[in-house]
Amino acid sequence: MWVWLAAAEGCRRGMGAHRTGGWRLSSMRAPKNEATGTSGQSFVKAKFEELGWGAVPNPEHDLGTDLWLQARDERRFDLGALVGAQVKTGPSYFDEPEAVDGEIAGWWYRDDDAHFNYWCNHRIPHILVLHRMDDNTSFWVDVTADKVESTGRGRKILVPASSTIDADHFELLLAVASRRPDVVQWEGSAWKVGRDVASGSRLRYALLTPRLIAPHPNSKTADLNAEQAIALLVQMRVHDLCRYAETQPLTDPANIDPVTDSRWQLFGALHRWLLKGELDGIDTLETDSLPPDHRSAIAVIRCHAYLEAGRTQEALDVLDTALLRDDANPVDNGWLNAQRARCLADLGRVDEARETALEIQALRHVAPDDPTAGVLVGSAAQVIFDLGDWGEKTLADVIQSRDNVAAWWRSQTLVTALDMQFDQVFKAWGKESSVTHFAEDVVWNRFRSSMLLAGYAADSAAWRHSASLLAQHQLMSSTDADTFVWALDLLRLAGAEKETKLAAGRLIDDGPISPLLKVAAEIDLDLSGRSSLKSDLSFLERVADALPSETCDRHVNWGISNLEALDALTERLKPQFWVPEAIINMVAALVPGASDSVRADVMAHVASLPVIEDQLLASRYARLIRTIGSDPWTPDQAAALCSRPEGDNFELTQAIDKVRAEREDGFRSSLVTRIASGDISALGNYGDVTDLPPDAAAGMIHSLATSVTNQTAAARNGTYRMGGIDVLRTLTLLNAWHPDQAKWDPVEEALAESASHVEHIVGAIDLLGILREQVPGSERARLEPLLRELASEVKRGDSGFGAFISRSDSRASAALALARISPQSVSPAELLELLSGEPSQRAAAAEIITFQADDTQIGLLVALSADVDAEVRAAVAHGLAYWVTQGVARPLSALALKKLLAEPGLQLGKHVSEALANADGDGAELLAQMLHDHPSTVVLVRLRHFRERRVKDS
């Protein structure tokens, strides 16, 4: 027995295995032709040998152990784990069955306290086997204290009828083999520098748990080895690497040549990729002659580099090639498969990804104390959860699996980055003036390290989170165009759709534009993954206004072809969002900048659509039709669009009717009867309401007046209906253009009612200012005190004229409308208070100055044009454009406007181009010249319409 006890301790303590505070894992593998019981051994021994386990009898020193069982995994790798087995054979052991619902659930086995104490307290787990000779079936139970019951004279244990020694119970037997009472202690592990990690696992540890391999910053390591250098790289401790340059010259990749140890070559390739972005070194690493653990590490590094470059299929090919050799140890094999599950999920091969992730869960039993195995199990559990059905057990599994030491250590790295970033923001707020020379960017390094740790652990969710944070940090702290490109690409690949749209919006408004153009040109939607497709579509939608026609054409063509083969796309990627909406939104945004031929393809697609009953889909296509407008349709295209079969949802029908109304005088005239009866959708399709016949205008005004009165009465009672048509604004519009049929009383009543909801009145207030010339003087006189009351209403806790300027209520709109209707009604003191207020207040001041049209105030507008807030500069640009067209304070107003238009970004140009809509004369022509080469498609379309109107008027 001492021989086998020694073997047991050898399997638990060493024999060429690796250990970090716990479990050892051997790389020894049994041959396929090992004997399976042909040498006269017991049936039970043979059964375990059929499972690939080693089984050795213990006949001479049997105190309760008949067999010593050497556990191996399904691929016959020795796990360094031992199980003792006590075998009982004969019919008498089946004389005491336990029945449940009439079925035999198992058999009770009785013995004395001494035997049960022996099994329960043994350092090696033990199973009890009842072998039935009749059918050569072996039943077993893991003998643990919680399963043993006292009988008064001894003890008993139930051997389940469902637990048999066969392949179906292989994992349960592995779980017994891996059960140990030892408690792994990780406290203090940061100082041990990997001394307990076996050589065959050090590269994996360096990439997944580098703190167990890399020297501590405060320790002194005389000779840095390759694994330690790689661990330092993964931690992005570049400054620490430089400290070792004198004692270890290979920390400089320039000193690594082709004959250098392969691990140092791996370090050099990784160094060049991380610090210079050069992927060639990783691509060309030779692996054929390397040990399996080295090949596994290189495959994972190469895979992750490809994933960060958006080359998911190539990453999967790398893993498939590595797995084909089938020589990686169990944890490395699980590592490769965890990465494979990650790739499969992003490629939309959901079932395969989930199946692969399920296989990785066996590492719980194979290496329960290996922190690298633990983090891989957690990553795989997340894949299972993300791709499977929701359920309490699944949620519990993923939470428990992700609660592992490697994940905690990675969180420390992320927290350090966030802490340092907060410190930087505070110092900037405090206007710290000190300068630290040769300082590293700790925030960037720690964010990048957390990305690497998550990526090498195949934790896609954690990688996306860290990548998004790093990209946001770069966008906020850099002014370099190439950095913007890198950060935008990172946001897209991370699937951070909201952050991608925010970043793109900031750059599209304020510049620089060049990074957006480069990213959009390089996007290949055919290569977009399951996690990045939505971000890519949203990015293109947001930056469409700046894109050249060739880029618009390519992405529009992709959108139309995939809308027409939607099932193939959804089957390929199985995306987690409603794809048609995202694609149509992108196409609608890109169509204005597309070429005529591509726009024609879009119109042909819309005209040939089958009947659309779904309201959401109909609303998206309605938006696309409104974006195209009525003019571009050829007679044949328009005929095809307008002759669609019945059955479309009303939103699509209304959009098509609007095209018909603007193209067909007869159809437009047919809407008059419906408008007179109060059909609001017919009014929307009619278009320009200025030529609405008096009878139709009167009928619609009567209907709207009734709706407004009812809405005000409901508000008085505390009832509000949100959404739908803005009836007060529409009534104001018709009143202004049809004064003979106007009904102003409901408008005045709504504005005077203190209970009116801001959303119900702000549209009408804005319109009153815009259409001030159409509002009769007598009505303006009645509206002015109402607007002043709304503008000067003070919120609790506020005081003064400036308190009304808030974009969250109606006071700002009322003040601006008041200034438009009666420009001199705002006193200098009130204007000064606005000028010294919040950005929204300063923007309102700029608009008020604009409508006062006093050329002596040009200095105020020029001063405001240098405001740090984009909203203020936009208001100034709009005001200066108006002054240029009206000849106010020229040429100074033109010079100030030209300077504003020189700023990067599209926002100011779009605000300025609004002034072309109704402008004429030499001022309008001067404004058009300023905008003739503007990069915005919206601006160029407005400029084209201006030119066409000038030609028509001439």
The CATH number given to whatever domain includes residue 257 is 1.25.40
Output the pLDDT for position 158: 97
∠ CA 144-148-151, rounded to 5°: 160
723 and 800 part of one domain: yes
The verdict on residue 234 lying in a domain is yes
Last residue of a domain, one of 644, 663, 682: 663
Contact between 73 and 359 (Cβ < 8 Å):
no
7 and 84 part of one domain: yes
The verdict on residue 391 lying in a domain is no
Element (H, E) at 138: strand 137-142
Length reported for the chain: 954
Residue 232: domain span: 190-346
Contact between 402 and 378 (Cβ < 8 Å):
yes
267 and 319 part of one domain: yes
As for how many domains the chain has, the answer is: 6
Output the pLDDT for position 12: 34
585 and 635 part of one domain: no
Last residue of a domain, one of 567, 594, 621: 594
Report CA 131 to chain centroid distance, whole Å. 56
Output the pLDDT for position 34: 38
Output the pLDDT for position 804: 38
Structure-block tokens of residue 912: 């300025």
Structure-block tokens of residue 902: 């020189």
Low-confidence ranges of the chain (pLDDT < 70): 1-42, 60-62, 152, 180-196, 220-222, 389-399, 434-439, 793-812
680 and 655 part of one domain: no
Output the pLDDT for position 487: 96
∠ CA 277-278-279, rounded to 5°: 110
Beta bridge partners of 103: 100
The verdict on residue 894 lying in a domain is yes
Structure-block tokens of residue 80: 């360094």
Rounded Cα distance between 377 and 359, Å, is 10
From the list 516, 592, 589, 521, the residue with the least C-alpha distance to 904 is 516
Given the structure tokens 């692969």, which residue do they identify? Answer: 356
Residue 899: left if φ>0, alpha if ψ -120 to 50, beta else—which one? alpha
The verdict on residue 840 lying in a domain is no
950 and 812 part of one domain: no
Contact between 927 and 882 (Cβ < 8 Å):
no
566 and 606 part of one domain: no
Burial code (b: 16+ CB inside 10 Å, e: under 16) for 418-444 equals eebbeebeeeeeeeeeeeeeeeebbbb
Output the pLDDT for position 186: 61
The verdict on residue 468 lying in a domain is no
From the list 227, 255, 251, the residue with the least C-alpha distance to 239 is 251
Output the pLDDT for position 394: 62
The verdict on residue 920 lying in a domain is yes
Rounded Cα distance between 143 and 84, Å, is 10
Last residue of a domain, one of 594, 610, 644: 594
Contact between 51 and 170 (Cβ < 8 Å):
yes
Rounded Cα distance between 747 and 782, Å, is 11
Structure-block tokens of residue 396: 């519990």
The verdict on residue 116 lying in a domain is yes
* Main-chain phi, psi angles of 139, to 5 degrees: -105, 145
622 and 729 part of one domain: no
* Main-chain phi, psi angles of 335, to 5 degrees: -60, -50
Q: What is the 3-class SS of 357-400, one letter each residue?
A: HHHHCCHHHHCCCCHHHHHHHHHHHHHHHHHCCCCHHHHHHHHH
For residue 147, count other CB atoms closer than 10 A to its CB: 16
Beta bridge partners of 107: 97, 159
Contact between 735 and 747 (Cβ < 8 Å):
yes
Rounded Cα distance between 151 and 165, Å, is 28
Contact between 64 and 119 (Cβ < 8 Å):
yes
22 and 162 part of one domain: yes
752 and 718 part of one domain: yes
615 and 690 part of one domain: no
Q: Which residues are within 8 A (CB) of 218 and not within 5 positions of it... i.e. 6 or more apart? A: none
- Examine residue 330 and say whether the peptide bond preceding it is cis (omega within 30 degrees of 0): no
Contact between 818 and 788 (Cβ < 8 Å):
yes
The verdict on residue 918 lying in a domain is yes
872 and 895 part of one domain: yes
Output the pLDDT for position 242: 87
Q: What is the dihedral of CA 765, 769, 773, 779, to 10 degrees?
A: 40
Please state whether beta strands 67-72 and 126-132 pair in parallel, antiparallel, or not at all (unpaired): unpaired
